[in-house]
Amino acid sequence: MLDEFAIPRDLVDRRVTRMRVLSPSNLAADFSRALPPGAHIPMLRREVLDSFLRRRAADAGAELVPGLVTSLSLPAGPADPYRVHYISSSAEGQGRGVLEVDAVVGADGANSRVAREVGAGGYSTAIAFQERIRLPDAAMAYYDDLAEMYVGGDVSPDFYGWVFPKCDHVAVGTGTVAAKPEIKRLQSGIRARAGPKIAGGRVVKVEAHPIPEHPRPRRVVGRVALVGDAAGYVTRCSGEGIYFAAKSGRLCGQAMAEEWARTGAVTEAGLRRGYLRRWDDEFLLMFRFLDLLQRVFYGGNAGREALVEMCADEYVQRRTFESYLYKRMVPGEPWGDLRLLWRTVASMVRCGVIGREVMRLRRLELQAYSE
């Protein structure tokens, strides 16, 4: 994302070059031996990144209107405008306002008001909860370039817990779909697992956000298109959504601009062709693969133990980083894939979780490579 969207490097708080995955029994796999030379996982704060993107949009000619959108009036006919109703929060004064627009991009998150107004359909959501904790200097030095992921029923029944280094603190959190009322207990679990490594820290901020579990039933309705979390573009296996938000926004904007330049209008058919088809061709299969991966390995502690055991394999790490860093299903080496398949089976046999899901996972992966 840094390269593709020209994000300045000085926005990066930390450059993670070491990643550790810990199983329910605290078996640790150092998941960074295969990180390409010079590569790193950048850690940014969203408020810093978002502020930069807003300033860049304004510099490029966008008119920023600070305020809270309250409703969206739909057009009576194909040539009529949408009416965006909002409450202004600008420095010049508060008050109600209305914008008349030709098309709308709903980039307003998992609880998208735009999606509700156009009847885009619902979806299930997870909750991500985290505390920003400022650590003593010695403890912060431990996490200087290290990120940790914890799996186990004590931190999440269907996701993972994390300790990620940020600017002058660490982000400690967890997420879940099935046990949202128990999120505070699960947060206590990740803090207990991290234990003495975050001892003496002071909580400076608490955050909680909904995370979509799958794409909405309708992502384009009329001249309204949904992108990012509003569309449901978050990978279940990792919970990552920021790259896919930026990518979907760009694809959608390009589709609108191209159709407008060609015909002088934006249409639902044009958005489906220029935006949705491009998105699905590039990412749909990867999302399905990661969805199945999550069901196989996060369903119980036995599967989580097998996952961490596999994470120690250098070939697994290399394939994972290639796919993660470049956001595509990367073709593997035939003999390496065969060895990986048998290692997967062996790990899951030892942990007692082999079944039809594993075969489905492999078939989906082979389909990706054949295309």
- Strands 125-134, 170-176: pairing is antiparallel
Whole-model pTM? 0.85
Number of separate helices (H) and strands (E) present in the chain:
13, 15
Q: Which domain holds residue 79?
A: 66-101
Give me the pLDDT at residue 344, please. 56
Q: Is residue 360 part of a domain?
A: no
Q: Is residue 83 part of a domain?
A: yes
Q: Is residue 107 part of a domain?
A: no
Q: Is residue 172 part of a domain?
A: no
Q: Is residue 93 part of a domain?
A: yes
* DSSP-derived secondary structure letter, 301: H
Alpha helices of the chain — where are they, by DSSP H? 46-59, 113-118, 137-142, 183-194, 228-231, 242-263, 268-271, 277-279, 285-297, 301-311, 314-326, 334-351, 356-370
Please state the separation of Cα 229 from the chain's center in Å.
8
CB 149 within 8 A of CB 19: yes
**CA angle at 127 for the pair 124 and 130, rounded to the nearest 5°:** 165
The Cα–Cα gap between 225 and 82 comes to 13
* pLDDT tens for the chain, residues 1 to 371: 899 999 999 999 999 999 999 999 888 988 777 777 888 889 999 999 999 999 999 999 999 999 999 999 999 998 899 999 999 988 777 789 999 999 999 999 999 999 999 999 988 889 999 999 999 999 999 999 999 999 999 999 989 999 999 999 999 999 998 778 899 999 999 999 999 999 999 999 999 999 998 899 999 999 999 999 999 999 887 888 999 999 999 999 999 999 999 999 999 999 999 999 999 999 888 888 778 777 777 778 888 888 888 777 777 777 666 666 666 655 555 545 545 554 555 555 555 544 444 445 556 555 665 55
| Tokens coding 322 | 């290639």
Q: Is residue 78 part of a domain?
A: yes
Residues 6+ apart with CB under 8 A from 302: 351, 352, 353
Give me the pLDDT at residue 295, please. 76
- Helix, coil or strand: residue 221: strand
Split into its structural domains, the chain has a count of 1
Q: Is residue 85 part of a domain?
A: yes
Amino acid making up residue 195? G
Q: Is residue 108 part of a domain?
A: no
